Amino acid sequence: MPAAKAGPPAVAPLRVGMAGFGSVGAFVARRLDEGAIPGVTLTALTARDLDKAARNAAGLKSKPRVVPLVELAELADVVIECATADAFPAIARAVLGAGRTMIALSAAGVPAVPDLLEFALAHRGRLRIASGALPGIDSLRCAAEGTIRSVRLRSRIVPATFIGEPYLSERGFDFTKPTTEAIRVFAGSAREAAAAFPRHFNVAISLSLAGIGFDRTEVEIHADPGVPGAVHQVEVDAEEAQFTLISRNRPSVANPKTSRIIAPSVLAALRTLVAPIHVGS
C-alpha cells in the first residue's frame, strides 16, 4: 500500500500584539477574537494602565497576556499601535528595535522620531501606517513614483471634537458654545497641523509620508457644525494624474471623536500580511 502523501507544512499563527487598548484597540481585539482574520491570534497587549487593560481584556477567548511595553515585542510577530502620538516614539523604538513589524495609527508621532528610517533599517524592523480615515493613499503612492507638484488636505471637523484643544483655546476659540457656521481654525503645513492637533491629524502625516513630505503638504482645517463626522478632501496635482478624493466619515459609536472607519483600517492592514492575494499598490 503506497504511503500517504504528506500535506503542506503547518503554518504557525501570526502572533499579534497591541499597544494601546482604547476604543479602537478593543474593537480590533474583539474582531480578532472572533476569528475575523484566519491564522492571526492576539497574544499580548500593553497600555498605560495595565490593570484597566487586564480587566477590559478578561472576556477575550484568546487570553492575551497584559505586559509592560518592554516585554511586548518578544510575544508578538506584529504589533498594532493604537495609542497616542506622544506614546508613538517609545512604542516604535521598542517594536522596531526588536526587528518586528508595526502597524501604526498615530502617524502624528512620526516627526518626533527623526531617525525613524535609519533606526528601522538598523534593526530590520518594518513600519506600516494604516490608512485610517484618509482617502486615496494608493493613488497618492502611485503618483509619488513620478512627479507630484502639490498636495492639499482640506478637513471639516465637528466643532465639539476640538473642545479642550490647547492650540485653539490659546487662540481664543471656544467650541463649548454652539456655532452655526464653519470657522477656519488652521492653515499651514502637515508638520504644523500634526504638532497643533496630535490627537486628530494623523491623516496629515500619513498623507505627507505617502506624497511629498511634511513641509510641502498643505493643510486647511475648519470646525464645521454642518458635518456629522470628519470630512477629508485630498487634492493632488501630479505629472501622471490630477485627482480630488473625499471621505465623509461616520463617528465611532464607542468614541464619537474617532471615525468609525479607523479600526477596520487596522484589520485591513493586518489582513494584507497574511492574505494570499492583495489588491492595491
For residue range 160-176, list pLDDT tens digits in order. 999 989 999 999 999 99
Q: Quote the number of domains for the chain.
A: 2
**Interval 172-197: pLDDT, tens:** 999 998 889 999 999 999 999 988 98
Say if residues 274 and 39 touch (Cβ distance below 8 Å). Answer: yes
pLDDT greater at residue 278 or residue 74? 74
Catalytic residue selected from 123, 200, 222, 232: 232
Tell whether the model's pLDDT for residue 1 goes beyond 80.
no
Query: What is the C-alpha separation between 162 and 167, in angstroms, rounded?
Result: 9
- What pTM was computed for the model? 0.90
DSSP-based three-state secondary structure for 127:
strand
Please list, in sequence order, all residues whose beta carbon lies within 8 angstroms of the beta carbon of residue 43, skipping any fewer than 6 positions away: 15, 16, 17, 62, 64, 65, 75, 76
Answer yes or no: do 128 and 79 share one domain: yes
* Residue 105 lies in domain: 14-132+262-272
In a domain, 18, yes or no: yes
Q: What is the predicted pLDDT for the residue at 9?
A: 47
Residues 112 and 146 in one domain: no
pLDDT in tens, 84-130: 999 999 999 999 999 999 999 999 999 999 999 999 999 999 999 99
Residue 209 lies in a domain: yes
Coil, strand or helix at 78:
strand
Tell whether 154 is covered by a domain: yes
Burial bucket for residue 147 (CB in 10 Å: 0-12, 13-18, 19+) = exposed
2 has pLDDT over 70: no
Instruction: State residue 200's pLDDT score.
Output: 73
Q: Verify that 66 and 170 share a domain, yes or no.
A: no
What is the rounded average pLDDT of the residues 7-25?
83
Non-local CB neighbours of 242 within 8 Å, separated by 6+ positions: 236
Asked whether residue 93 falls in the same domain as residue 178, the answer is: no
pLDDT at 3 over 60: no
pLDDT > 50? residue 7: no
pLDDT top residue among 190 and 7 = 190
Q: What cell numbers appear for 196 in the block?
A: 497643533
Report the alpha-carbon distance of residue 67 to residue 84 in Å, rounded: 18
Instruction: Encode pLDDT of 198-227 as tens digits.
Output: 877 899 999 999 999 999 999 999 999 999
Task: List the CATH number of the domain containing 238.
Answer: 3.30.360.10
**The pLDDT of residue 11:** 60
278 as an active site residue: the answer is no
For 10-39, what is the mean pLDDT? Answer: 93
pLDDT digits (tens, 9 = 90+) for 223-270: 999 999 999 999 999 999 999 999 999 999 888 888 999 999 999 999
Residue 3 falls inside a structural domain: no
Whether residue 111 is found in the same domain as residue 205: no
* Residue 187 shares a structural domain with residue 80: no
- CATH code of the domain in which 91 resides: 3.40.50.720
Same domain, 228 and 157: yes
- Considering the domain architecture, whether residues 107 and 144 belong to the same structural domain is answered as no
The mean pLDDT of the chain is: 93
Residues 35 and 79 in one domain: yes
**150 domain-assigned:** yes
